Amino acid sequence: MRSMTLVVAISDRCLVELDLLHNAVYTEPNDQSAWLYHKWLLAQAVDRLDAPALAAVRRAELAVIEELAELEPECKWVLGALVFLYALGGLATAEEIGKAENMVAELKWIDPYRAQYYATLVPRNEDGAKVASATPDSGLRAPARS
pLDDT in tens, 59-100: 999 999 999 999 999 999 999 999 999 888 777 788 888 898
pTM: 0.76
pLDDT at 9 over 70: no
pLDDT surpasses 50 at 136 = no
131-139 average pLDDT score: 42
Is 9 domain-assigned? Answer: yes
Residue 142 lies in a domain: no
109 part of a folded domain? no
CA 99 to chain centre: 13
DSSP-derived letter for residue 122 is S
Spatial separation of the C-alpha atoms in residues 110 and 76, rounded to whole Å: 7
Count of the separate structural domains present in the chain = 1
- Mean pLDDT across the chain: 80
Instruction: Tell me what pLDDT residue 54 has.
Output: 86
| Residue 124, strand partner residues | 130
Range of the domain at 21: 2-89
99 is a domain residue: no
